[in-house]
Chains A and B, each alone.
Chain A
């Protein structure tokens, strides 16, 4: 996974990398669920 690979470049231990990645991914998923029903941005790339 690219984010994990990127984090690993900073010389952190594997355990720290996994914890940081898990927190970031969990936050992203929670935010996605939180804003799930917001109206879409006004672009129609799926309709061209």
Chain B
């Protein structure tokens, strides 16, 4: 089996906190329309696809950037090509990341027709002042409209992404955001603590002292709140930052966390095939040039040692509800972790370690203990 990630490196505008590999069309080509850029780009992606293994495909995920910026027929070309070449499993999950502002009823129907069956909206917050700090363009009311349209179009699985811990966001702000998200009657929520990446506009504002990051205690309370509210609404945590109704977990992301094989198409995209990780050149222009010149777009790669593979699986498994198999741990690690059992950070469920909500908040620390 081989999952596919398809990177769409375009946004209408870059958000202040974002350090993803994305560009506005005008950054790339003077005067070119989005249609031209898009068509050209998809041609390159299809070239790259030719070098991927031909295993059957259980999931495809279009991320970005803003995939919903590109017309359905362009994205559809990729799905069609993968289907023709590798074959899709019967229940293949195909996700589109979408900006609530850039969708219309017609567009959503077209995506569904192109093969998408799951959609994830970047909601981030229901509070205008929080969205303003994040430098997001959308009107909070658009989210409900977009979700309703997606449901009307026939999407079976709808998710929203939320961000907490934005400068100026109170616990009450966050509570109303989560309340609003749950009121959309969706089946999946991802909630991430804001990470201030160096080089972003947000980092500069914080450095200047214009904005102040909330302290870790507030962040922790926000996490506990969303976890509690989701669970109460019947969305269970299945990964540290992800909650879903039973059967609506994102299979694509689970593939990452279970160290399955997956191929990332597009500039800067990472792949993992067997014990090897590799990643493409970062800039879309360089990426296209390489492929059209018949060269590999791979920038670099690493062959994972047995120890690295083990470290990765510990680091990923500990984040999941299915937990970390005790068999992966050394005696020293088990001894290290023992103290965290009594302090209420973890529980032993069957032959695996499962983190409590308090434990998930210090998961990185627990990983360090588990790697001993």
Are A and B bound to each other? no
Interface residues of A (CB under 8 A from B): none
